[in-house]
A and B are shown apart, each in its own frame.
Chain A
Amino acid sequence: MTDPLTPVLTANWGDEQAWKLASYERRGGYQGMRAALRMTPPEVISLVKDSGLRGRGGAGFPTGMKWSFVPQDNPNPKYLVVNSDESEPGTCKDMPLLLASPHTLVEGIVIASYAIGVSHAFIYCRGEVLHVIRRLQQAVREAYAAGYAGSNILGSGFDLEITVHAGAGAYICGEETALLDSLEGRRGQPRLRPPFPAVAGLYACPTVINNVESIASVPAIVKNGSEWFKQMGTEKSNGMTIYSLSGHVARPGQFEAPLGVTLRTLLELSGGIRAGHQLKFWTPGGSSTPILTDEHLDLSLDYEGMAGAGTMLGTKALQIFDETTSVVRTTLRWVEFYKHESCGKCTPCREGTWWLVQLLHRFEAGTAVDGDVDKLLDVCDNIGGKSFCALADGAVACVTSAVRHFRTEFEAGYSTPAWELFPYRESALFEVREREGAGV
Chain B
Amino acid sequence: MSVQAKPTEVAERPPSVTVTIDGIAVEVPKGTLVIRAAEMIGIAIPRFCDHPLLDPVGACRQCMVEVPDMGNGRGMPKPQASCTLECADGMKVATQRTSEKAEKAQRGMIELLLVNHPLDCPICDKGGECPLQNQAMSTGNGESRFDGLKRTYPKPVNVSAQILLDRERCVLCARCTRFSEQISGDPFIALVERGALQQIGRYETEPYDSYFSGNVVQICPVGALTSAAYRFQSRPFDLVSTPVTCEHCASGCQLRTDHRHFQVKRRLAGDLPEVNEEWNCDRGRFAFVSGRGSDRLTYPLIRENGELRPASWPEAIDAAVAGLRRIGTSAGVVTGGRLTLEAAYAYSKFARTVLGTNNVDFRARPHTSEEAEFLAALVAGRRLGEGVTYADLETAAKVICVAFEPEDESPIVFLRLRKAARKKKLAIQVVSPYRSRGTEKMLAEHVPAIGAEAISGLTADAGTIILVGERAAQTQGMLSAVAELAARTGARLAWVPRRAGDRGAIEAGCLPNLLPGGRPVADNAARVDVAASWGVDRLPAGEGLDADSQFAAASDGQLKGLIVAGVEPADFASRDAVLAGLEAAEFVLSLETRASEVTERADVVLPVALLETHAGTFLNWEHRPGPVEAVVKSRHTPMTDLRILAALADAVGTPLGIRTVASAQAEIAELGVWEGPRPATPVLPTAPRGGEVTLTSWRQLIDGSRANDGEPALLETARPVVARVSPATAERLGLGAELRLSSATGSHDFAVVTDPSMVDDAVWIPGNFFDGSLGTLGVVPGEAVTVVPASELVSAGGNA
Contact = CB atoms under 8 A, between A and B. Distances in A.
B64 interface: yes
A interface majority secondary structure: helix
A343 B109 contact: no
A203 interface: no
B143 interface: no
Given A348-B112, A354-B115, A382-B112, A388 B61 contact: yes
Nearest to A385: B78
Contacts of B316: none
B145 interface: yes
A347 B196 contact: no
Contacts of B145: 375, 379
Nearest to A342: B195
A118 B138 CA distance: 52
Nearest to A338: B195
A346 B196 contact: no
B58 A350 contact: no
Contacts of A379: 108, 145
A340 B195 contact: yes
Given A358-B149, A382-B109, A386-B79, A348 B58 contact: no
Interface centre among A348, A351, A352 (most CB of B within 10 A): A351
Nearest to B148: A358
Contacts of A375: 145
B195 A347 contact: no
A21 to B, nearest CB: 39
B116 A386 contact: no
A342 B112 CA distance: 15
A120 B226 CA distance: 46
A218 B345 CA distance: 81
A189 B178 CA distance: 14
Given A192-B57, A354-B115, A381-B108, A347 B148 contact: no
A192 B58 contact: yes
B196 A344 contact: yes
A355 B58 contact: no
Given A192-B84, A345-B59, A388-B59, A352 B112 contact: yes
Contacts of B79: 385-386
B61 A342 contact: no
Nearest to B199: A344
- Using C-beta atoms within 8 Å of the partner chain, give the interface range for chain B: 35 or more
A347 B194 contact: no
Contacts, number: 96
Nearest to A193: B84
B51 interface: no
A353 B196 contact: yes
A106 interface: no
A341 B197 CA distance: 11
A350 B78 contact: no
Contacts of B171: 347
B148 A351 contact: no
Interface in B39-63: 56-62
Contacts of B77: 385
B78 A351 contact: no
A350 B196 contact: yes
A347 B58 contact: no
Interface string B75-87: 0011100001000
Given A382-B108, A382-B111, A388-B58, A343 B194 contact: yes
B375 interface: no
A385 B78 CA distance: 6
A339 interface: yes
B109 A386 contact: yes
Interface in A165-199: 170, 187, 189, 192
A348 B105 CA distance: 10
B203 interface: no
26 contacts: A170-B194, A189-B191, A192-B58, A343-B194, A344-B195, A344-B196, A344-B198, A345-B198, A346-B60, A347-B61, A347-B113, A347-B172, A350-B172, A351-B112, A353-B196, A354-B115, A354-B116, A355-B112, A358-B148, A358-B149, A359-B148, A382-B109, A382-B111, A386-B78, A387-B61, A388-B58
Interface of A: 170, 187, 189, 192, 339-348, 350-355, 358-359, 375, 379, 381-383, 385-388
